[in-house]
A and B are shown apart, each in its own frame.
Chain A
Amino acid sequence: MGNKITVKNLNFFYGKDQALFDISLKIPEREVMAFVGPSGCGKSTFLRVLNRMNDTIPYARIEGEVKIDGKDIYKAKTDVVALRRMVGMVFQKSNPFPKSIFDNVAYGIRINRMHSSKKDLADRVEKALKDAALWDEVKDRLPTSAFGLSGGQQQRLCIARALAVQPEVILMDEPASALDPIATQKIEELVVELKKDYTIVIVTHNMQQAARISDRTAFFMLGKLIEVNPTEKMFTNPDDKLTEDYITGRFG
């Protein structure tokens, strides 16, 4: 399978502070790649490079090359709106809009004018909710507030919302870190299910989680990419001493 995302010699700065150092990485299509590493090592920053979310930070600066499907997404003529539609994002803390469950999922479809009729819109919302394994739990309460859902349901709603605009890549920043074990397990099962259709990059603090759900793991430390390997190798026979120390819990 080909590489969906190719990053070459990426340096990233918050003003004068450099957060990422000379990162080169290939992310294969329809696989799950996990980003692990101690907090503050730049995982979120890197994730937000991939959908240009850092554009909202005026003092942020980037060097190097980030290609998705072979196209440099930092080229001047890049359509950021189209990019963000193709590269969906799920955040650490679930962030539903102050709208109904239906309208949350419909939001991205509406702003991107993807539906042909009211019926089509409803069908798309239903499909997204089904794909996010949430439909059965909410089908009778679509017009009610999204804030009435449990934490785990809210996070799956945010996943449904991201799926509704038919992305190709989904970025997840510690999507289960605020959830209880059962809700976490649901998210994990969902990720494994979704990789059939999507390329997924997931940041996680939880080594077992990375081991359970990812095909490849990238280990970051202090803004540097220390090692990237198939997850199985990473957890049994890592190339780098630092990786081994981190995985076995000697620091971090």
Chain B
Amino acid sequence: MTMLTALCAIFAITILVIILAYIAVRGVSAINIEFLIDTPKPVGEGGGIGNAILGSALMTLLATAIGLPIGIGAGVYLAEFGDNWFGNTVRFLSDTLIGVPSIIVGIFVYTIVVLPMSRQSGFAGALSLAIIMIPIVARTTEEMIRLVPKSMREGALALGAPQWRVTWNIVMPAAASGIATGAMLSIARISGETAPLLFTALNSRFYNYFFDQPMASLTVQIYNYATGPFEIEHQMAWAATLILVGLILFINIVVRFLTKKKY
């Protein structure tokens, strides 16, 4: 039994390492400073992914700013007050939303934001990402809060703490590293999304700092490069992929570091 599970673990790790190594090998040759800061140019003239990196960062940031508080708030509600029909409904809808293919979220935002504004925009892209993020954050937050032992809450209640204070300064800190891990996973997840951005943020050839304009993203840029006809474009797709994977890895490491258990 131990042998078998160990083999499975080795298999999983091996695949991961092969993928990472392959991306690294294929991508590393095309990476240079110019590639990192330039905007895309016609094939053969170089060009880079600077604006795509910025766009991804901006949209992920805005999506996190919208999605994280709502997701955490909803998760706290579900765990602390959600044992009723309303909580069950929210829980069921969240689980459904987590299972919905992300392109459908893209179509939804396209319909309610892009069409009325008659323009694709960074805001629409960020909103799609936030919608994907909220149920993931809500459910992991709920799980983490439920893991906080009842005895710890009772200890605080017995000192005369009102319910909201127990939640705020005992339960939430106790669950903080778990909640942060969930948040980190959801950020990593949305920074790898392509489908919901295709209709919403579209793409842009330029550096764009404004959310009411179409915005470039790493994932859509990779998609464009990878589906182009020229070998040089494929190489740039690999390079951009390497950057994306590197960034996601970086987020993971940073949050790991930040949430290292203090107590």
Residues of A within 8 A of B (CB): 51, 53, 56, 81-82, 84-85, 88-89, 91, 93, 95-100, 107-108, 111-112, 145-147, 158, 161-162, 165
Complex Cα spacing A95 to B160, Å: 16
Given contacts A95-B155, A97-B152, A111-B165, is CB(A85)–CB(B263) below 8 Å? no
Contacts of A158 in B (CB 8 A): 155
A111, B160: Cβ atoms closer than 8 Å: yes
Residues of B within 8 A of A (CB): 149, 151-152, 154-162, 165, 170, 173-174, 262-263
Complex Cα spacing A158 to B262, Å: 20
Complex Cα spacing A161 to B162, Å: 17
Complex Cα spacing A227 to B162, Å: 36
Chain B residue nearest in CB terms to A146: B263
Contacts of B263 in A (CB 8 A): 98-100, 145-147
Given contacts A53-B154, A95-B149, A111-B165, is CB(A165)–CB(B159) below 8 Å? yes
CB B240 to nearest CB in A, in angstroms, measures 41
CB B122 to nearest CB in A, in angstroms, measures 39
CB A208 to nearest CB in B, in angstroms, measures 27
B173, A51: Cβ atoms closer than 8 Å: no
Complex partner residue of B162 from A81, A98, A147, CB under 8 angstroms:
A81
B156, A107: Cβ atoms closer than 8 Å: yes
Complex Cα spacing A97 to B173, Å: 10
B173, A98: Cβ atoms closer than 8 Å: yes
Given contacts A99-B263, A111-B165, A146-B263, is CB(A51)–CB(B154) below 8 Å? no
Interface pairs (13), CB distance under 8 Å? A88-B159, A89-B154, A91-B151, A91-B158, A95-B154, A96-B155, A98-B152, A99-B173, A99-B263, A108-B161, A111-B161, A111-B165, A147-B263
A-B contact count (CB 8 A): 66
Complex Cα spacing A147 to B173, Å: 15
Contacts of A82 in B (CB 8 A): 160
Complex Cα spacing A18 to B151, Å: 24
Chain A residue nearest in CB terms to B170: A97
Pairs of residues from A and B, 5 with the lowest C-beta to C-beta distance, nearest first:
A108-B159, A85-B160, A89-B158, A145-B263, A95-B151
Contacts of A84 in B (CB 8 A): 157-160
B157, A53: Cβ atoms closer than 8 Å: yes
Complex Cα spacing A230 to B170, Å: 40
A88, B165: Cβ atoms closer than 8 Å: no
CB B176 to nearest CB in A, in angstroms, measures 9
Contacts of B149 in A (CB 8 A): 95
CB B38 to nearest CB in A, in angstroms, measures 48
Contacts of A91 in B (CB 8 A): 151, 154-155, 158
Complex Cα spacing A175 to B154, Å: 15
Given contacts A111-B165, A147-B263, is CB(A97)–CB(B160) below 8 Å? no
Contacts of B162 in A (CB 8 A): 81
Choose among A84, A98, A99, A107 the residue with the greatest number of B CB atoms under 10 Å from its CB.
A98
Contacts of B152 in A (CB 8 A): 95, 97-98
Chain B residue nearest in CB terms to A107: B159
Complex partner residue of B159 from A98, A147, A161, CB under 8 angstroms:
A161
Complex Cα spacing A91 to B159, Å: 12
List 13 extra interface pairs beyond A97-B156, A111-B161, A161-B155, CB under 8 A.
A88-B158, A88-B159, A89-B154, A89-B158, A91-B158, A95-B152, A95-B155, A98-B152, A107-B161, A108-B161, A111-B160, A112-B159, A165-B159
Contacts of B161 in A (CB 8 A): 81, 107-108, 111
B154, A108: Cβ atoms closer than 8 Å: no
Complex Cα spacing A100 to B149, Å: 18
CB A17 to nearest CB in B, in angstroms, measures 20
Chain A residue nearest in CB terms to B162: A81
CB B78 to nearest CB in A, in angstroms, measures 17
Contacts of A88 in B (CB 8 A): 158-159
CB B152 to nearest CB in A, in angstroms, measures 5
Complex Cα spacing A188 to B35, Å: 72
A165, B160: Cβ atoms closer than 8 Å: yes
